[in-house]
Structure 1
C-alpha cells in the first residue's frame, strides 16, 4: 500500500496545476491520495485532501464534468480496499465542500446534474 500511496502522491504533484478544462480521472483519483488515511481510518481529513476535493469541485463546471468526476470518485472508492463507506460519504461535509452527489460505489452518476 505504501507503494500505491507514493505513486498516487507523485500523480498528485504532477497534477497540481488545474487547467481550464475539467480534471481527468487520473487527476481526480491522484488528488484523493491525501484523503486515503481519512477514508480508511476516519478522524479529520487533511488540509491537502480538502484542498484537492475543493479544486475538483471547482473544475467540474458542466454537467458532463460533474458526471465524469462522480464516475471517477465512484471507481476510486471501489478500487481501493479498506475505504470506509461512511467516511467517504462524510468527506465533503468534513471538508466543507458541497458536492451534488454522495461519494459512494452505489451513486448513480447518470443522475448527477
Structure 2
C-alpha cells in the first residue's frame, strides 16, 4: 500500500511539473482584440464587432497582472492613435454591457488595477 501511495505522489508531481503554464496577456492580444473598435472610437464607423473584442479581452484578462497589462496597453494605444474619442473609449464597457475594474482613461493608474 505504501508503494502505491509513493507512485501516486510521483505521478501527481510529474503532472504538476509538465502541466502547461498559462501565458500572460500581451499588448498584441489587447490590440488585436480591440482593433474592431478603432473606426468607432475615431468617429469613422459603427460599433460593429467592437463589443465582441471587448468581451474577448475581458475573458482573456483573468488575473490582476493581465488586467494591469490590458490597462497599460490601452493607455499606450490611446496615446499612439490620434483622433481617438476618449469619451467613447471610457464608455465602451457600458456600451458593450461589460464590467471592467478600471476606467479606460489616460489618467488611470494601472498599478492600482485589481
Q: TM-score range by the shorter chain?
A: 0.7 to 0.9
Map of 2:69 onto structure 1: 68
TM-aligned CA deviation for residue 80 of structure 1: 0.6
Normalising by structure 2, what TM-score?
A: 0.74
TM-aligned CA deviation for residue 110 of structure 1: 0.7
Q: Considering only aligned residues, what root-mean-square deviation do their CA atoms show, in Å?
A: 1.7
Whole-Å Cα distance in 1 between the matches of residues 113 and 63 of structure 2? 10
Unaligned runs of 5+ in 1: 1-19
Structure 1: 4+ residue segments shifted above 6 A: none
Map of 1:81 onto structure 2: 82
The total of aligned residue pairs comes to 93
Whole-Å Cα distance in 1 between the matches of residues 77 and 52 of structure 2? 18
1:101 aligns with 2:108: no
1:41 aligns with 2:31: no
Map of 1:25 onto structure 2: 27
CA separation of 1:80/1:21 partners in 2, compared to 1, >3 Å: closer, same or farther?
Answer: same
1:53 aligns with 2:54: yes
Whole-Å Cα distance in 1 between the matches of residues 107 and 89 of structure 2? 12
